[in-house]
A = this chain, B = another copy of it.
């Protein structure tokens, strides 16, 4: 099935293809009375916007969002908020290569197998362009959880990781990589540029922390906060792995190392560690919620790869066009948006059951 909707009571649905007239999202279930205008959304879209440096795709999209419903006199009404972003730079490119042969690592073959055919222009529905809709929806979700502070960064590109000792959140906005370590950012300039010039691409790891989440959001089982976050993050294009807290590293610890001891504090218990990433038994503990997300290198590269055509003949393919040499970079605002959307949904769900 298609199922282009995410969330349980704060739900959003996205629509649109890379090269159609527009893309958009409908956010349903937003509480009424929140101040909302395009100005609350646009800055987040600008963060994700392509064409802002040579390290991202050169497609020029203003990504200007319009609110078509759900807001009256500057406030949300509680009815669906329709957000639309027009596609502007749909360069009249020749897609005959992509139409004829499958790009390995892309969804081309899987789409044809499922649907019998596909919109091959720029990836169609499978394009990362869809994530603009998520970022717009996420900006609305942030208004639902004003008590929460969410920020993400790139912690690793092509296997080159930041130095945790150099971590400085203030640096994130100072370079085109959302990198909190200025030394790593310098290294990455050359690393990413080299990959770009090679016609290759690089993977990345994005980390995200949400602080201010009170204890008690989430659920014991299939709406577990960590399960919802895993679904949300893994639904982003190019993501292949998700960790909560220590993630796979926790599998190498012993029980006493992995415990997050507690001590009395002035406002409730204080944790002495956060291996759990702020979630125990599927429910937030009041500690910062921490997620790590692995982005594969984009499959759109200029280096020829062996493939087959729709007719089943052997071929080589290169993916010309305007592509991100490291798609994980622009994943940062998308990861933040998904974090906001999950937390806002869980907040409302918690309120439903527990008042």
Contact = CB atoms under 8 A, between A and B. Distances in A.
A183 interface: no
Interface in A87-102: 102
A126 B354 CA distance: 18
Interface in A121-165: 121, 124-126, 130, 156, 158-159
A259 B302 CA distance: 12
A158 to B, nearest CB: 7
A288 interface: no
A169 interface: no
Task: Give the interface centre of A11, A158, A220, A243 by most chain B CB atoms within 10 Å.
Answer: A220
B350 A349 contact: no
Contact of A241 (B195, B247, B253, B281): B247
Interface in A251-270: 251-264, 268-269
A246 to B, nearest CB: 6
A307 B80 CA distance: 29
A280 B230 CA distance: 17
Given A16-B68, A126-B220, A113 B235 contact: no
Contact of A9 (B202, B215, B220, B352): B352
Contact of A109 (B75, B259, B285, B300): B285
Given A32-B353, A116-B33, A297 B250 contact: yes
A221 B283 contact: no
A282 B94 CA distance: 26
Given A21-B68, A248-B240, A2 B125 contact: no
Nearest to A319: B255
Contacts of A308: 262-264, 269
Contact of A222 (B4, B237, B256): B4
B79 A261 contact: no
A349 to B, nearest CB: 4
A259 B299 contact: yes
A272 B202 CA distance: 21
A105 B276 contact: yes
Given A80-B15, A234-B230, A252 B29 contact: no
Given A3-B222, A17-B72, A262-B307, 18 more contacts: A3-B349, A4-B79, A9-B352, A9-B353, A17-B79, A33-B117, A78-B115, A105-B260, A110-B218, A113-B283, A126-B282, A203-B253, A240-B277, A243-B248, A251-B294, A258-B296, A261-B307, A264-B314
